[in-house]
Amino acid sequence: MALIAKKIKGTEDILPRDSYKWQIVEKALSTEAKSYGFSEIRTPVFEQTKLFQRGVGEGTDVVQKEMYTFETKGGESLTLRPEGTAGAARAFLEHGLFNDALPVKAYYFTTCYRYEKPQAGRQREFHQFGMEVYGADDPLADAELICAASSIFERLNLHNIRLEINSIGCPECRKKYHAALKEYFSQFTDTLCATCMSRLEKNPMRILDCKSPVCKEIAAGAPKITDFLCESCDDHFSKVQQYLTASGVNFTVNPSIVRGLDYYTNTVFEFISDSIGAQSTVCGGGRYNGLIEELGGNPTPALGFAIGLERLMMVIEKEAPFTDKDGTSSLYIATMGDNAKATALNLVNEVRKAGFIAHTDIVGRGLKAQMKYANKIGSLYSIVLGDNEIETGKANIKNMETGEQKEISLGDSFAVDFINIAMSEEMDYPISD
């Protein structure tokens, strides 16, 4: 029988055998964010289209080519979010968070949607983790945010990721820089790709981010933004570097870094991995002091970053793969007979209440098949319950790795006794937290 539907191109299913990996990573990310004083924010999956046109920029590829936009039955234009920052900024304004104690620090996990060619680490539906700060203009805020991203990679045992930073200045800096870029790139109008020709008038900085080999070669000789920074922007960037150095965070200044979204100002940065091929940027972010005002609020300094979780998972699998035990069971109780089933259900529930992963048979397998299943799911310990064990109130618990068995009481202390046995053998048992 043919399937009536299949997943849409550019989307992926996260299956039960892999979801534990995402949960491990998500817990590490949220734990690190909380340690820096961030609280979670959740925003709708779709917003008014004008939010992204103003917040992201009408001249960007995201708005011009990649957004999923549709009209409601009431005639309103809505768009599936292509990134997380604009929605968070809208919520900051709409709910008056600017009246709270500043800075407001928020983090999010979100799905985003862009219509582009699917490839490794880039899907049409993708997942982002982001951290946003509102109300902090000091360069120390830039350095702290970058430190937070760096700490995340350390927590995940990823040490082959390098940090590159730049400053794209304020609007006044960029006026002079844009003029210099136009003059430079105008020499190559017969060579630049069609997309970059359109960028030449609207936003020549975007040419620096073109992936065309020809345009990249031309861009390598372009003027550098760092030579056009005003005194204030230059001082801000110098202090960011000073604070990062004091914090022990290694970095390289890369004057060619630009961000693809219009709301960025001053500091921009990327964390790059060389282990996943061309799609090497795992984290990108910076400062966007003009965004809140662009969306109708009072001038408010802001900054943030986003990590593409698909790419992050690719890096982890290359550099620090998940172990076989990360998604396994702590305990499997095999049963023979109805009395054993009832007892086993009670025992695994007690173990679960203690925070551990436990299974018992719920499909009516024979004993041999149950033990094969326990092996297949990687259970660290197993117990076989039958009438004899029920009568005596005792059973043997087996270490599935070593084969060693110990006696354990089936009474009220069962969960505590199980934990003590596991801890005494220093097993890396999984928990359900």
Q: What is the per-residue DSSP string for 201-230?
A: HH-GGGGGG---HHHHHHHTTSPPGGGS--
- Residue 121 scores a pLDDT above 80: no
pLDDT given at position 428: 54
Residue 325 banded pLDDT, cuts 50, 70, 90:
low
Note the pLDDT of residue 328: 66
Neighbours of 345 (CB within 10 A): 14
| pLDDT confidence of residue 61 | 76
Confidence band (pLDDT; 50, 70, 90) for 380? very high
Residue where the block lists tokens 């109300």: 135
DSSP-based three-state secondary structure for 58: coil
Q: Is the pLDDT of residue 279 over 70?
A: no
375: nearest Cα among 357, 400, 397, 352? 400
Distance of CA 127 to the CA centre of its chain: 6
- Residues 6+ positions from 55 with CB-CB distance below 8 Å: 85, 86, 89, 90, 263, 291, 294, 295
Give mean pLDDT, residues 218-244. 94
Instruction: Give the pLDDT confidence score for residue 128 in this predicted structure.
Output: 96
pLDDT at 426: 58
Any alpha helices (H) in 64-185, and if so which ranges? Answer: 85-94, 139-155, 171-185
Is residue 282 within 8 Å of residue 110, measured between CB atoms?
A: no
Q: Phi/psi zone of residue 383: left (φ > 0), alpha (ψ -120 to 50 degrees), beta?
A: beta
Task: Report the pLDDT value the prediction gives residue 207, as an integer from 0 to 100.
Answer: 86
Mean pLDDT of 244-252: 96
- Topology at the third CATH level for domain 16-170+230-319: BirA Bifunctional Protein; domain 2 (3.30.930)
Peptide bond into 103 cis (omega under 30): yes
pLDDT at res. 3: 87
Question: Is 340's pLDDT higher than 80?
Answer: yes
The listed range with the strongest mean pLDDT (241-245, 276-280, 416-420, 423-427) is 241-245
CATH class of 331-424: alpha beta
The pLDDT score that the predictor gives to residue 335 is 96
Of 89-93, 141-145, 173-177, 289-293, which range is least confident? 173-177
pLDDT of res. 115: 93
What pLDDT is stored for residue 334 in this prediction?
Answer: 97
Per-chain mean pLDDT for the chain: 90
CA distances to 119, 163, 307 from 277, in Å = 11, 17, 17
Domain limits, the chain = 16-170+230-319, 331-424
Percent of the chain with pLDDT over 90: 68
**Is it the case that residue 140 has pLDDT exceeding 60?**
yes
What pLDDT does residue 422 have?
Answer: 84
Which residue has better confidence, 427 or 41? 41
Tell me the average pLDDT across 334-350: 94
Q: Exposed/middle/buried for 202, CB within 10 Å: 0-12, 13-18, 19+? A: middle
Residue range 368-386: mean pLDDT, rounded:
94
Query: Which range has the worst mean pLDDT, 76-90, 158-172, 222-236, 251-265?
Result: 251-265
pLDDT digits (tens, 9 = 90+) for 27-86: 999 999 999 999 999 999 999 999 999 888 776 778 888 999 999 999 999 999 999 999
Confidence check: pLDDT of 433 > 60: no
The pLDDT tens digits for 168-214 are 999 888 889 889 988 998 898 888 898 888 888 878 888 887 878 88
Instruction: Report, as an integer, the average pLDDT of 6-23.
Output: 91
Q: How confident is the model at residue 103 (pLDDT cuts 50, 70, 90)?
A: very high
